[in-house]
Amino acid sequence: MKCHRSLDLIGWLHRIGLLPQRLTRRTAAEDLLKALYEGRSQGTPISTLSPTLDLSQPALQELLTDLREAGFLYPNNLELTPEGVRRAIELTRAHRLYELYLAEHSGYSPEDWHRLAHTKEHELTEEEHKRIAKLLGNPLYDPHGDPIPTSEGRRPDQPLALPLEELVPHRWYFVLHIEDDEAVSFQRLSALGLTRDSIFALEELTPALCTIRYEGETFSFPTSMLLALTLRQASEEEVTQTHADRAQRLTRLPLGVEAKVVALSPACRGAMRRRLMDLGFVSGSTISVDMRSPLGNPTAYIVRGAAIALRDDQARYILIQSPTQ
């Protein structure tokens, strides 16, 4: 009875505008449907879904009843019906397409993509999926590296990833995927600039702490956070082509020194990437510091004969060859 009252209260609060769409009962049921769809390929037991989705056991059972009444689950087990599979694929596809849309065509930060896409996935129609996919060039992966299924459920092959115990210090690694479901690790790693397609050198690795070198900076964080990254070893060609071994962030360029732009960070996406390229921050451009503001931020840079002021959170995306090289 208490669970019924709780769910009824959530519905009432939503109807009068005090709760967002993601807290409605239908949305909760569809979240469970997605979890069942993903879990069946990973052997995830139903007992682990309740705490993961922040549900009590009675609430979980009510949502399972809702899914059966909607025709998404068979009556006497947890197997998805063909209609349930179709809806789960539709939700997954909508979420990942919308995350990529936000990454490429909005000013939202990576920490906001998942939250906004989680709301939008329950609202998008199949026609809207098609329009977004066409706009994005029918992509295979979302900005975190998760595969985007087709409407029939086909997904691109996922490359083999290295387990944590096979990582070796003093080697270069390529980020295939960054997990965004665990918010703390994702926010910490994103703040360092790590994203899909990043290449970094693993400097030290202990059970408690790891140290990496990335874009000319050295960062240390708990080794457990490496579990949020899907990695493979980077080839020498990839390290050379991306200048990973000799690039540093523009924010480290001293006054009175010229350097050349070698690339933009893979973390620089969408409108910001296009704006910086339009301003002349492209590979081969010569750049120097014109002046720093009294507080040190923003800084005016000379690029292609023009003075352009950038904040540090913009300049960090511009990678230059170390002036000493």
What structural domains and CATH numbers belong to the chain?
Answer: 2-80 (no CATH), 164-241 (2.30.30.90), 247-321 (2.30.30.90)
pLDDT of residue 290: 92
- pLDDT of the chain along its 325 residues, tens only? 334 444 444 444 444 444 444 457 888 889 889 988 888 765 555 555 555 566 677 888 888 999 999 999 999 888 999 999 999 999 999 999 999 999 999 878 888 898 899 889 998 888 898 999 999 999 999 999 899 998 888 888 777 789 999 999 999 999 999 998 788 899 999 999 999 999 999 999 999 999 999 999 999 999 999 999 999 999 999 999 999 999 999 999 998 899 999 999 999 998 899 999 999 999 999 999 999 888 778 999 999 889 999 999 999 999 998 665 4
pTM (whole model) above 0.75 = yes
pLDDT of residue 110: 86
pLDDT of residue 11: 45
pLDDT of residue 7: 45
- Contact in structure between 244 and 306 (CB atoms under 8 Å): no
Question: Is residue 173 within a helix (H) or strand (E), and if so which, with residue range?
Answer: strand 171-178
pLDDT of residue 308: 95
Please report how the helices 25-42 and 82-105 are oriented relative to each other, as an axis angle in degrees rounded to 10: 100
pLDDT of residue 46: 58
State the Cα–Cα distance between residues 282 and 260, nearest whole angstrom. 9
Paired residues of 57 in beta bridges: none
Q: On the CB side of 141, how many CA atoms lie within 13 Å of its CA?
A: 14
State the Cα–Cα distance between residues 100 and 80, nearest whole angstrom. 27
pLDDT of residue 57: 78
Q: Which amino acid is at 289?
A: V
pLDDT of residue 161: 83
Pairing mode, strands 217-222 and 209-214? antiparallel
Q: Which amino acid is at 119?
A: T
Radius of gyration of the chain (CA): 23
Which residues, 6 or more positions from 234, have their beta carbon under 8 angstroms from its beta carbon? 172, 173, 174, 199, 244
- Contact in structure between 67 and 33 (CB atoms under 8 Å): yes
Pairing mode, strands 199-205 and 171-178? antiparallel
Q: Which two tokens stand for residue 54?
A: 């922040």
pLDDT of residue 42: 59
pLDDT of residue 58: 84
